[in-house]
Each structure stands twice: as structure tokens, then as C-alpha cells.
Amino acid sequence: MNPTTTVADDSVVVQRILDHIDQKTTDLGAGWREPVANYRSPERLAAERAVMRRTPTPFCPSAALAEPGSFVAREAAGTPLLAVRGSDGEVRVFRNACRHRGTQLASGSGCQRAFVCRYHGWTYGLDGSLRHVPHAGGFPGLDLATRGLVPVASRELHGLVFVTQDTPLSEAGLDALPPLIPSGHRLLGSAANETPANWKILCEGFLEGYHIRSTHPGTFYPLQFDNLNVVETFGRHRRIAFPYRNIQKLRAAPPAERSADGTLTYVYHLFPNVMVATFPGRIIVVALEPLSLGSTLQHTWLLSDRDPGDPNAQAALAKGGDLVLAGGAEDRDVACAIQRSIASGANEFFEFGRCEAAIGHFHRTLAAALAECA
């Protein structure tokens, strides 16, 4: 293991995978029973959102803020936030509300030199400062210096912009993270899609390979192994390795030459609700934002370091993208089927087995964080 990170080197992960292939095994951990009531309780959802606001959580990739004036505006744990790269190159995150009457200043993403409120024209600089108030004489005593946008704690690290809303940002927790998005990745696109399922159900689908054969018989299963994962935990987070069948070619390679690139997918689950998934030529960042007990807004950003002028690289990206989209649709269909059954009374709890250890770790960690906020 690299002493500067909290996860194993590729060579170690590859060897663990090859051993599992030979022994017909997978990483195992403690099982977990999660009460179905925890997917149906409004009080529980409110508490989960409070955890999201208190936890250093990725808001967007750095690549979405590529140049000064670039911004991303979205809700995080029910709060409208606005991230913008300033003229000095720094990323700042603000509560997305005008200091006059509270109108949201921006939506979606884009690039602009200032933020002008569409209601009355109050204007803010990229640093959040209040620059202009039309008919300022109507506001005697207004001090522009104290009425800038309200910031939230943020830090740019490992290709992501992290925020906390209700507490200071814990530097120690972020410094323990492994490298996530290497430099050189650019934004190919982004999307926001609503799925009629609880956010935890969607999260669980990222954390195990026990479903690969049953759920993805024509997409992922021909390329990957069923129920074969390497699971690593670091603090509240976890990384799951999903190997491809072509990993067998690395058997003869010296350990130093055993790379994850093109031979496995890493899914980093950054507690509580963000995934970073690696695929050949691309990295996908997913933030799961609960809208209600039975609805989740999934924000997705697609990044790549491939040469945009290379037609072969772009064709490979398009082909791989179609596969990932098809597999993602299959996962969402299953999540929606689970959501529809929750009210049936068939299950008092959901049973997660030893081969679904990352899900158990997620629920144990979430329960501990909820207890801290109580």
C-alpha cells in the first residue's frame, strides 16, 4: 500500500482479484439487516439530509469549473448552492440567494462575469461581493461590504469541490482521501435525472457485484465477473473493484506493470451520497440528492482525458458510453422495482449478505453519523 494513500496499489488489488478467480471467491464481510422503516420515515430522511449538510461532500468536479466565471448551481441536501471559479482561479461556494429578497441567482451551469438578480438587478461579483444596487438611494444605510453572497465552507481537492453547509470543513478527513480524479480530465457533459426511488436504494446498487449476472446479462456480465469484488474501506468511505474478464492477461505481468486501467472499474463511494466510478477513458461522478422518501435527483458528470482530436479514441468513448448508459438504466429499473415494493409489507428488513459487505459498511457508517447529529 502506498503510504500516502488509504487504499491499495493497483498491483495489490489485481493480485487479490486473480486469487479470487482461482479460488472462486470474493471479498466477504459482516452481513447487515436494514429495517425497511428506515426507507419510509420522513424523520429519518430529514436526519440523513442533516448528515449530508454536516459532512464534507463533493458538490461537483473541478472540471465543471474550468475557467474564471464557470459556475454550477444545484441543490445539495435541500439547500440551493452556487459554486463559481473566481478571477483569481479560486473556487468559492455560496448559498444561492440574493441578499435583497432571496431570489436564486443562477441555475444549471454556465460561465459569466457577474451574477445579476433577475428580480431587481442586484449584482454580485465572482467573489460573491455585492457590486451594484439599482436605485441605491432607496436603501439608506445599506452597506454593500456586508451584504455579499453568504459563503459555505469549501475546498478543491483531488479534482472535486467539497462543501459543508452547517459545520466547518474538516481538513483532516479530506487529507485522508486517496487520489480520485487525475489532472488532465475535461468535462464531456453533465445531466440531472429524477428517479422514483429512495436515494439509499440507488446508492446500494453501486456497492456490490452480486447482481452482475442477474441484472446485467447482456451488458456488464459478458465483460465482468459475477459476485467478484475487492472491497476497501477508508474512514467513512469505501472503494469497490469490479474486475473485467481481460484482467487475466495480467497474470504474466510483473507486479509493477499491473494496472487497473482497462482491466477493472473502481467505484469510490464518498460518504454519504457521491460516487466516483472509473471506466476506460472516462470517469463518472454521481451525486444522489434525495428529493423525497421515494424520489432522488441524480446529478451525473462525465469526464475524460482522451484526445478530442483522435477519432479512434472518440469512437471508443462513444461505444463505452452506450454500454454504461444501458447498464445504468438496468440498475435504475431494479431500484424503482424495489421502491414500489417497499409499502407492500413483505419485508421488515432488507437482508445484505457477507458478499455485500460494502453496503453493510455504508449503513453502519450512516447510523453512526446519525447518532452524532442526534
- Beta strands 349-352 and 32-35 are antiparallel
Three-class secondary structure of residue 355 per DSSP: helix
Q: What average pLDDT is seen over the chain?
A: 95
Q: Are both 246 and 279 inside the same structural domain?
A: yes
Q: Are both 234 and 258 inside the same structural domain?
A: yes
Residue 2 has a pLDDT of 47
Beta strands in the chain (DSSP E): 32-35, 57-61, 70-76, 79-85, 91-95, 108-111, 115-116, 123-124, 130-132, 151-157, 160-164, 186-195, 230-234, 237-243, 264-270, 274-279, 282-292, 295-304, 349-352
Does a structural domain hold residue 2?
no
Side-chain half-sphere exposure of 227, counting CA atoms within 13 A: 12
Task: Name which residue leads in pLDDT, 172 or 69.
Answer: 69
Residues 6+ apart with CB under 8 A from 28: 354, 355, 357
Does a structural domain hold residue 3?
no
Residue 259 has a pLDDT of 95
- State the pTM of this model: 0.95
Does a structural domain hold residue 20?
yes
| Boundary (domain end) residue, out of 112, 136, 169 | 169
41-55, 216-230, 264-278, 306-320, range with the lowest pLDDT: 306-320
Residues 6+ apart with CB under 8 A from 199: 48, 273, 288, 289, 290, 296
Per DSSP, 149 falls in state P
Does a structural domain hold residue 358?
yes
Does a structural domain hold residue 243?
yes
Share of the chain above pLDDT 70, in %: 98
**What percent helix, strand, coil does the chain show, rounded to 5?**
35, 30, 35
Q: Report the distance separating Cα 61 and Cα 120, nearest Å.
A: 32
Does a structural domain hold residue 4?
no
Q: Are both 46 and 67 inside the same structural domain?
A: no
| Boundary (domain end) residue, out of 144, 169, 194 | 169
Q: Are both 239 and 319 inside the same structural domain?
A: yes
What confidence category does residue 336 fall into, taking pLDDT thresholds of 50, 70 and 90?
Answer: very high
Residue 3 has a pLDDT of 43
Three-class secondary structure of residue 340 per DSSP: helix
Check pLDDT > 90 for residue 106: yes
Q: Are both 245 and 314 inside the same structural domain?
A: yes
Residue 5 has a pLDDT of 58
Residue 131 has a pLDDT of 98
**φ and ψ at residue 96, rounded to 5 degrees:** -85, 75
Q: Are both 253 and 300 inside the same structural domain?
A: yes
Does a structural domain hold residue 361?
yes
Quote the number of domains for the chain: 2
Q: Are both 353 and 231 inside the same structural domain?
A: yes
Q: Which domain holds residue 118?
A: 57-169
Q: Are both 223 and 365 inside the same structural domain?
A: yes
Residue 264 has a pLDDT of 98
Share of the chain above pLDDT 90, in %: 89
Q: Are both 158 and 199 inside the same structural domain?
A: no
Residue 347 has a pLDDT of 97
What confidence category does residue 318 fall into, taking pLDDT thresholds of 50, 70 and 90?
Answer: confident
Residue 292 has a pLDDT of 98
Residue range 323-334: mean pLDDT, rounded = 95
Residues 6+ apart with CB under 8 A from 159: 61, 62, 63, 180, 181, 182, 183, 185, 303
| Boundary (domain end) residue, out of 141, 169, 197 | 169
CATH of the domain at 98: 2.102.10.10
Q: Are both 238 and 335 inside the same structural domain?
A: yes
Q: Are both 191 and 150 inside the same structural domain?
A: no
Residue range 87-96: mean pLDDT, rounded = 98
pLDDT digits (tens, 9 = 90+) for 170-224: 776 787 789 999 999 999 999 999 999 999 999 999 999 999 999 999 999 999 9
Check pLDDT > 90 for residue 55: yes
Residue 28 has a pLDDT of 97
CATH of the domain at 208: 3.90.380.10
Strand-by-strand arrangement of the 160-164 sheet: 57-61, 160-164, 151-157, 91-95, 79-85, 70-76, 108-111
Q: Are both 331 and 233 inside the same structural domain?
A: yes
Does a structural domain hold residue 175?
no
